[in-house]
Structure 1
Amino acid sequence: MNRWHIQWAGATALALGMATAGHAQILIGQTAGFSGQVAAGVKETTDGAKLYIDMVNAKGGINGQKIELTSLDDKFDPKIAAENARKLIEDNNVLALFLTRGTPHTEAMIPLLEKHGVALVAPSTGAMVLHQPVRKYIFNVRATYQREAEKAMTHLASMGISRIAVVYADDSFGADGVAGAQKGLAGAKLTPVALEKFDRAKPDFTAIAAKVAKADTQAVLIIASGSTVVEANTAFRTAGSAAQIVTLSNNASGGFIKSLGANARGVIVTQVYPNERAVTYPMVKEAQELAKAKGAGDITPAMLEGYAAAKVLVEGIRRAGPKPTREKLHAGLESIKKLDLGGLEVSYSPEDHTGLDFADLSIIGTDGKFRR
């Protein structure tokens, strides 16, 4: 029996979640933008997690108990995300939250996590604010945005590119990425030819695109999500800029490539997991084989993120024992030391909830796939 279900926010969805909750043995909650600008990436990360959790459930679950994930759509709105988290924690009584999406969205949940002692495993964001200072109930798996942005700037500088612009959303995610970009630029003794922010809720790139084109920019780092990056890319091309487009791993999905259309080729996307075709990594090989068995198509970087996240979640639940509680799960996660995810190791302690530090670069090829 397939115990997975996706439920949309609203009274009907919540009622359905509460009705099925009575039959679940290990309840896990997720709120993310299943609709809106990050929907493609959210679907892929969730599909990747599903590959691993379905396999665990098919083998009898954990200590004979199967995992049931209740997923609510927050439309990539921080306010809805916080309310969804409240419903999941207080009404559905989930053991943990899992694979949330977005920096301000996840920040909005922190008071709830602390109030109820609920662990959030693998938020799909690399925000430094979730790493330092250590957030007791947040267990990161992926590397930080600052590390990604810094690596991107260092790479561009090593190629002789010096006229670099940084365009970012006016939220905590944007500010976080800018901090990493500025560190990388400073290391290369460069300053951005343009540093422009835009309204995350109502982006308008007309004036910014004109500035980027006038500055004869060679490359633009766009710190934004999904369809917003697509809009920015189109605006730059319309303004006559031929600048190399660079963005972060929150856009490392097959759906993002499709949304770029004819503008996809040559876009650089930072990555926080190994090449999704690198079977020398056992984790990649495992995910590929499970996807093939389910007829799920090719593995994407976003699916690998979800897959790795599920491995960490499952290990934490295992360590929580036959009758897992929120407190036991927290202790189980903090006890993880050098957990081999399949070529990458994760460790936690009360002083360190960072997880992985892997960062790489990819470029979208003519075949519409990420190339390393």
Structure 2
Amino acid sequence: MNKMRALSVAGLLALASLGASAQILIGQTAGITGSVAASVNETIAGAQLVIDAANAQGGIHGEKIEVLRMDDGFDVKRAGENARVLIEDKKVVALFMSRGTPHSQAIIPWLDKYGVALIGPSTGAMVLHKPVQRHVFNVRSSYQREAEKAVAHLLTIGVNRIAVVHVTDSFGQDALEGAMAGFDKGKAKPAAIVQADRDKPDYAAIVPKITAAEAQAVVWIGSGTAVVEGVKALRAAGSAAQVVTLSNNASSGFIKQLGDASRGVIVTQVFPNERSIGQPMVKEALGLARAKGQNELSPAALEGFASAKVLVEALRRAGPKPTRAKVIAALEGLRNFDLGGGLEVSYSPQDHSGIDFADLSIISDGRFKR
């Protein structure tokens, strides 16, 4: 993480000299520090594999890609202000991989005002899918699809006392809707629905509600550190309930933070198994990672990799000296773009949803396994 922060700061300090070498400037605001830093920095590392490879081959139409990253600390207001700076002051051609549902929503007014695309937001919020946001181009699947699959899985294996803990923001409400769809389809009801403050979850109030409901499983909808501390509090209270969380926590850093409490936690996934070396996209990503001395990928890194492939393809199709309008036109004309192994991305003016893929993994021996 420190390395990524250093790169981000260096990028800001060196901005004045970028004009000579970075003809294509892309902006990113995300929680490089803060509660989601672990997964954010893994997505950045995955994305950089694609960008570095493109630049090493001469760039796009002879122009190098440079990503100007600004740390918002996972703060909504900072995310919005960073977007303004990147669009108004730094004149980026597009924004890339924001993190968080309310954070991405805070960016949209600036996208709409200046006609700038946001490619691959690292959130599965349905509000970014339907109704179609003119300037938002999703790559990954939705949180509703993930949460619905999580509940359906638990009901299928005979677990019927399921509690849902959800953060009290637009992300939490969105994922809760997906979970409730899973209950409805399974003709079941949650054992408890418990709210958790986004910034300061009250575990002393949350955990007793779970245990009082005699929950066999908990679908915990939240981000990074908040879910880690929640799982630890649940275990400290003596509950052995199965915990399921969503792909926003699909990072190696999440596992490390959980420590001994990680074993058996289920995390939904929106890309193929990062160790399926026969899968073309995974094979490509792993090859680039190993060339940099990295022997493993995380699901978060794979998300960054996939989103960067869409970014690079859009820039290619936009032609030399891409403008904001040309990038949007290129994206809306993208049809059946294969990320590898049949994972296709298609957009149109009426659909900016990207791929539709959801799976489950379980943490065992410090790794995600499927």
TM-score (norm 2): 0.96
CA contact (8 A) 1:21 1:92 kept: no
Q: Distance in 1 between matches of 2:356 and 2:338?
A: 14
String of CA shifts for 1:67-108, please: whole Å, max 9, x gaps: 000111100001000111111111110000001100000000
Aligned to 2:29: 31
Aligned to 1:211: 209
Q: Distance in 2 between matches of 1:323 and 1:54?
A: 19
Does the residue aligned with 1:6 lie in a helix, a strand or coil?
Answer: helix
Letter in 2 for 1:187: K
Aligned to 1:268: 266
CA contact (8 A) 1:44 1:302 kept: yes
Aligned to 1:256: 254
String of CA shifts for 1:219-261, please: whole Å, max 9, x gaps: 0011001110011101111222110010000000011010000
Does the residue aligned with 2:62 lie in a helix, a strand or coil?
Answer: coil
Q: Distance in 2 between matches of 1:110 and 1:272?
A: 23
- Given candidates 78, 101, 110, the residue that maps to 2:99 is 101
CA RMSD of aligned residues (A): 1.4
Letter in 1 for 2:23: Q
Q: Distance in 1 between matches of 2:20 and 2:39?
A: 30
Q: Distance in 2 between matches of 1:369 and 1:201?
A: 28
Aligned to 1:176: 174
Q: Distance in 2 between matches of 1:117 and 1:18?
A: 24
Aligned to 2:129: 131
Letter in 2 for 1:360: D
Aligned to 1:240: 238
Aligned to 2:140: 142
Does the residue aligned with 1:108 lie in a helix, a strand or coil?
Answer: helix
Does the residue aligned with 2:141 lie in a helix, a strand or coil?
Answer: coil
Letter in 1 for 2:358: A
Per the alignment, do residues 280 and 15 of structure 1 end up closer, same or farther by CA in structure 2, a change over 3 Å counting? closer
Q: Distance in 2 between matches of 1:228 and 1:114?
A: 32
Q: Distance in 1 between matches of 2:146 and 2:7?
A: 31
Q: Distance in 2 between matches of 1:280 and 1:23?
A: 36
Q: Distance in 2 between matches of 1:21 and 1:231?
A: 44
Aligned to 2:354: 355
The CA deviation at 1:264 is 0.5
Aligned to 2:7: 6
Aligned residues: 365
User: Equivalent residues in 2 for 1:50-199 (5 A)?
Assistant: 50-199=48-197
Taking only the aligned residue pairs, the percentage that are identical comes to 60
Does the residue aligned with 1:195 lie in a helix, a strand or coil?
Answer: strand
- Given candidates 320, 323, 347, the residue that maps to 2:321 is 323
Does the residue aligned with 1:156 lie in a helix, a strand or coil?
Answer: helix
CA contact (8 A) 1:152 1:270 kept: yes
CA contact (8 A) 2:194 2:209 kept: no
CA contact (8 A) 1:267 1:364 kept: yes
Q: Distance in 2 between matches of 1:191 and 1:103?
A: 26
Per the alignment, do residues 273 and 13 of structure 1 end up closer, same or farther by CA in structure 2, a change over 3 Å counting? closer
Aligned to 1:340: 338
String of CA shifts for 1:137-188, please: whole Å, max 9, x gaps: 0000000000000000000000000000000100000000100000001111
Aligned to 1:282: 280
Of the structure 1 ranges 203-212 and 16-25, higher mean CA displacement relative to structure 2 is found in 16-25
Q: Which runs of 5+ in 1 are unaligned?
A: none
The CA deviation at 1:190 is 1.1
Q: Distance in 2 between matches of 1:332 and 1:117?
A: 14
CA contact (8 A) 1:7 1:17 kept: no
Does the residue aligned with 2:40 lie in a helix, a strand or coil?
Answer: helix
Does the residue aligned with 2:67 lie in a helix, a strand or coil?
Answer: strand
User: Equivalent residues in 2 for 1:217-236 (5 A)?
Assistant: 217-236=215-234
CA contact (8 A) 1:5 1:69 kept: no
Per the alignment, do residues 178 and 18 of structure 1 end up closer, same or farther by CA in structure 2, a change over 3 Å counting? farther
Letter in 2 for 1:7: S
Q: Distance in 1 between matches of 2:19 and 2:82?
A: 15
Q: Distance in 1 between matches of 2:295 and 2:275?
A: 13
Of the structure 1 ranges 21-30 and 338-347, higher mean CA displacement relative to structure 2 is found in 21-30
CA contact (8 A) 1:153 1:181 kept: yes
Q: Which runs of 5+ in 2 are unaligned?
A: none
Of the structure 1 ranges 134-143 and 12-21, higher mean CA displacement relative to structure 2 is found in 12-21
Runs of 4 or more above 6 Å deviation: none
Q: Distance in 1 between matches of 2:336 and 2:361?
A: 27
Q: Distance in 2 between matches of 1:153 and 1:137?
A: 32
Q: Distance in 1 between matches of 2:261 and 2:169?
A: 26
The CA deviation at 1:20 is 2.8
Q: Distance in 1 between matches of 2:39 and 2:295?
A: 15
Per the alignment, do residues 72 and 6 of structure 1 end up closer, same or farther by CA in structure 2, a change over 3 Å counting? farther
CA contact (8 A) 1:119 1:137 kept: yes
The CA deviation at 1:297 is 3.0
Aligned to 1:42: 40
Letter in 2 for 1:115: K
CA contact (8 A) 1:35 1:75 kept: yes
